[in-house]
Amino acid sequence: MTAAATAAAPAGTVVLTRKRVYILPTRQGLAFAAVLAVMLAGAMNYNNSLGYVLTFLLASLALVSLLHTYRNLAGLAVSARPAHPVFAGGTARFPVRVDNPGGPRRDGVVLSERRAPGDVVLHLEIGPDSHAQVELPVAAPSRGWRELERVCIASRAPFGIFRAWYRVPVRVRTLVYPHPAGDRPLPASLAESREERGHGGSGREDFAGLREYRRGDPPRHIHWKAAARGDLLPLKQFEGAATGNVMLRLADVYGAHPEACLSQLAAWVLEAEARGMHYGLELPGVRLDPATGPAHQDACLRRLALYGNES
C-alpha cells in the first residue's frame, strides 16, 4: 500500500491546504471538556494548586492534540482515477492515491466516500515522502454513471478527541452496467432456430473448457458438478458451432419492467459473448451491428447502462 518513493502528484490532485482542513471535537472530545470543567470547579473549590496544574495541563494537552490532528491531514494531496465499469448492485473500486510530500508520518488517516452508515472506511498509514495507493470500494446500486464526487479524508489521531476532515472534490465517475438478470433464453439466432439449440446445451456447441465464474455470466453455464468439488464456480465455455448472429432487441423483452428488460439484455450480451456468438444490440434510437469480442461487449453494455439517460 505504501511505496518507498513518490513522484510528483498527478494532475487533478487536490492538496489539503491548511484552509481546507476542518476540525471539530468528537463526542469523546466533548466528554473530555466536560471532565475538565468538573476538574476545574473542583480545583477552585478546594483551592487546590496541583488540581489547577493538572486541569491546565490536560486542557493544554487537548489544544496540542488539536494541532497534531490537524497536522495529520494538512499537506496531503489526494487524487482519484475512474474505476473500471461494474454491474449494478456491485462495488466500484476507485483507485485513490494519497501523497504525503515531505510531511511527517501520517497515522490514523481514514478514507471513505461520505462517512455514511455502510460506507467502506479505509485506514491509511503514510510515511514521509511517500504515498498510499488504495482502491476505495463504493456501492454501485443502479445502472448509469456512478460518480465519486468527493472522498472524505479524516483523522482523529492522536487522541480521538478531535476529528479533522476534508471532503476532497475528486470528481471521477465510472459506468455501471445493468445488473444482468433474467431467465429468458437467447432469441433465435439469425441463422438457426431456438428449438434446435434447446436448453441442455446439446448438439452444436462444443465444450471448450472451464474458466472461473464472473458476475454477469449466465448461471446456466456453471458446471455444478465441478463446483461441488472446489470453492470456485467453474463456468463452462463453449465455442465452435454456436457462432450464429443474434440481434438482441429491447422489443423482444417488452412487457417486463423497463429495468428488468435492460437486465435481460445485459444477461443476453454476456451469454452471447460467452458463447462466442456475434450479437448486435437494438434499442430505440440505437443500433449496434453484430460483432463479438470484449470491446463490443463493453460497447453494448455501455449502451444499456446509459439507455434513457445518455449524457
Partner 1 sequence: MRWLAPDPELTGWHLSVGRLSWLAASLALVIAPHASRMPSWIPLLFALLAGWRLWRAHRGDDRPPARWLVAAIALAVLPGVYLSYGTLTGRAAGVALLTLLAGVKLVETRGLRDAYVVSYLGFFLVITNFLYEQDIATGLYMLAVVVVMTAALLALGGSPGRSPAMAVTTHLRRGAVMVAQAVPLMLALFVLFPRIPGPLWGLPRDAHAGVTGIGDDMSPGNISALSQSDAVAFRVEFQGTPPPPAERYWRGPVLDVFDGRRWSRGERPASRRPVPFERRGPPLDYEVTMEPSGARWLFALDLPAVPPPGGVMTRDLEILAGRHLRERLRFPMRSYPDYGLGADHPGTPAWVVSLPVGAHPRARALARSWREEAGAPGAVVQRALAWFAAGGFVYTLTPPLLPGDPVDDFLFGTRAGFCEHYAGAFVVLMRAAGIPARVVTGYQGGEVNPLGGYMIVRQRDAHAWTEVWIAGAGWVRVDPTAAVSPLRVQEGLDAAIPPTVGAAGLTITPAPAVTDAFRRLRQAVDAVQTRWNAWVLGYGPERQRRVLSEMGLDASSYGTLVLALTVTVALLLAALAAWLFARRGRRDPVLGAWDAFCARLARAGLPREPHEGPRAFAARVAARRPDLAAAVSAVADAYVALRYAQTERDPEILRRQVADFRL
Determine the interface stretch with partner 1 among 159-167, 199-207, 243-251, 287-295 (rule: CB under 8 A): 159-167
Contact call for residue 136 and partner 1 (CB under 8 A)? no
Q: Which cell is 94 given?
A: 476507485
Please say which residue, 77 or 247, places its beta carbon nearer to partner 1. Answer: 77
- How far is the C-alpha of 33 from the C-alpha of 206, rounded, in Å? 73
Contact call for residue 71 and partner 1 (CB under 8 A)? yes
Determine the interface stretch with partner 1 among 29-37, 189-197, 253-261, 277-285 (rule: CB under 8 A): 29-37
Contact call for residue 127 and partner 1 (CB under 8 A)? no
Give the C-alpha distances (Å, rounded to integers) separating 253 from 152, 186, 192. 42, 11, 19
Determine the interface stretch with partner 1 among 35-43, 140-148, 270-278, 287-295 (rule: CB under 8 A): 35-43
Contact set for partner 1, span 162-181 (CB under 8 A): 163
Determine the interface stretch with partner 1 among 113-121, 139-147, 179-187, 284-292 (rule: CB under 8 A): 113-121
Contact call for residue 15 and partner 1 (CB under 8 A)? no
Contact call for residue 54 and partner 1 (CB under 8 A)? yes
36: Cα within 13 Å, side-chain hemisphere: 18
Contact call for residue 19 and partner 1 (CB under 8 A)? no
Determine the interface stretch with partner 1 among 9-17, 231-239, 249-257, 296-304 (rule: CB under 8 A): 9-17
Q: Which of 20, 84, 123, 184 binds partner 1 (CB under 8 A)?
A: 123
Contact call for residue 157 and partner 1 (CB under 8 A)? yes
Burial class (CB in 10 A: 0-12, 13-18, 19+), 298: middle
- How far is the C-alpha of 206 from the C-alpha of 162, rounded, in Å? 64
Strands (E), the chain: 2-3, 14-15, 22-25, 77-80, 86-87, 90-100, 106-112, 122-126, 130-140, 144-155, 162-177, 205-212, 234-240, 245-249, 278-283, 286-291
Contact call for residue 204 and partner 1 (CB under 8 A)? no
- How far is the C-alpha of 147 from the C-alpha of 139, rounded, in Å? 11
Q: Which cell is 57 given?
A: 495541563
- How far is the C-alpha of 237 from the C-alpha of 67, rounded, in Å? 59
Contact call for residue 159 and partner 1 (CB under 8 A)? yes
Contact call for residue 25 and partner 1 (CB under 8 A)? no
